[in-house]
Structure 1
Amino acid sequence: MGKADPRMAVKNGLHQTVILDAPDTVLIERNLGKRIDMITGEIYHVTFNWPTSIKVQKCLEKPNGITEEETVKRILEYRRVSHGILNSYSKKYHIINADQPSIDVLSQVLSHVQSRHRSIAPYTPRIILHGPPGSGRSLQAALIAQKYRIVNVSCGQLLKEAVAAETRFGETIKPYVESRQPVPDIMVMKCMAQRLSKLDCSTRGWVMHGFPQNVRQAEVLKDAGFIANRVFFLDVPDDAAIERLTMRMTDQVTGERYHSIYKPAPSSEVYGHCKINPKDSDENVQTALEVYHANVIELEQFYNPVIHVNADQDPHTVFEYIESCVVNPLPKETNIFI
């Protein structure tokens, strides 16, 4: 955070500039916790990177110039000159949120400098969850959105909300939604683009499920500029998906959801209130599975590399796998199976 002359940026004619930024409170905490091994010069931190060796701990000392007062003074000095620096670089700089694991920051920096098309927008998670019906996409999306405070973008839910809002667009797609017929791609994309273009999606990121369902939709999504940086395929056997869906039911009085095997209704009275959603009939589930399998291979090839996750296990175990791939850099190998 030393002094910088904005004029030098113009003079040197740099082609790519990466700005690592974080909230002031984070910067202060990081600086105050620094400790230096006076023998090796290695830098440690009392919170994030404390050595396990007692011998090393005894060699650590607090470096000069990192008191809270001195740190705040240096941050303020940086903030004063940063606007001039950014103006000098015009649109050639890229801001990356440094308030995250260092390995992910490094991955984003490398991804930016190696990419042909650069964006001045800060890095945001853009995740797509694919999977057959019954694979748990909705649950995983909710867990991811809650953990990382990103936007949960459900295609089906967006279409239902549009119908409920009784807008002109909602009235147009209402016959399709009510008859459970596929909404034309151009209308679905219009709905998705409107949601993904909002500020919260642009700044916080998003996790999408229910779309795209085929390569044609994936291409339209890409052409519109909405490009995922993590694509997961949640894999479950057909018989497991059928068991999950065809045996679930909803209490029409309370709205509580039950399952004949995993979560039976607590009494015969409650069971009497329960109904199975028509879309979960054997025939409809089989049809949905056939549609998924007819498109999955092409989608995998389109999004290569993708990450396959065994979703035929405890949902929180599945989430742990997905989370590890969200936090860590994307492996270079194609079609990673977990």
Structure 2
Amino acid sequence: MRPMHLCSPYDEEVDESELLAALAPRLRQFTAVARTEHMTRAADAIAVPQPTLSRGIARLEHDLGVALFVRAGRAVRLTRAGRTLLRHTERAIAELDAAAREIVTDADAVRGRVALGFLHTFGAEAVPRLLREFRRTHPDVRFDLAQGGNDAILERLRAGEVDVCVTSPLPADPALVSAPMYEQELRLVVPADHPLAVHRDGLPLSAAAGAQFVGYRPGFGLRSLTESWCREAGFAPRMAFEGEDGETLRGLVGAGLGVALLAPSTHVTPGVVELTVTAPRTTRTVGLVWVADRPAGPAVRVFRDFLRRSGPALLAPPDTP
């Protein structure tokens, strides 16, 4: 396709890209004159000598081949061509202003601080993996980290101690915004010598009705989910041991002290077998939560956007052995 050309008053062919390069520096002068309709006031507004401004406008009209203003002394009035040009230059200036604000916001974001709350189950590998990737592009953002059970970190979020948290189950609180990220399967973890361990292809949760359980303390999301799933399977779990750390609970299972519903582990725990639960569906939604009407600083907004975009792949564990 042949490039478009504009003609000067002298019928000389001018390449469009060359014309744009010539026009760009003078559009700021044109906009100032168009807005004030006065050469002297426009010159004062953009801090250039009035003769320089007049020459710039004359050169712009020469390059375009049209009159942009009707002059009456130092006062001016836009022509039809001038009004058309102003409409486009104002849009362009608005876009440039928006770009400048975005750049400044990003610059502020790399120097900010984020208070992140998350469940204990994400502390050993998932959150470190997440922060490592985020700091590749935002190395100067600082973090305050808060671990805990679901109830505790949501309470800290409401109190303003945490900016954003990664948790499950997601709250049904209209004062909070919940953004689901991925579904996590929970498995029935049993001692290797337990009678249930032979069900390597999966089993219904009701098969564990007679077993002792180890699990999280009340106030942890997985505790409430475990009780809910067991009720759905027709029984109430008998909790022999309660704790706050998933790997400790897994170790208790390995010691033969009970069975547990736990997130899959990337580590091999001696004496432990993980079984798929075929019914009910033991999955939980992991997501991001923040306070709906609380203003967030640039660093928090950038990190929150990063979590929504990249969090599912980074938080979800890789294939377990």
Q: Which has the higher contact order (CA 8 A, sep 6+)?
A: 2
- Fold shared, TM-score > 0.5 on shorter chain: no
- Higher strand share goes to which structure? 2
- Higher helix share goes to which structure? 1
TM-score range, shorter-chain basis?
Answer: under 0.3
TM-score in terms of structure 1 length: 0.23
TM-score in terms of structure 2 length: 0.24
Structure with greater Cα Rg: 2
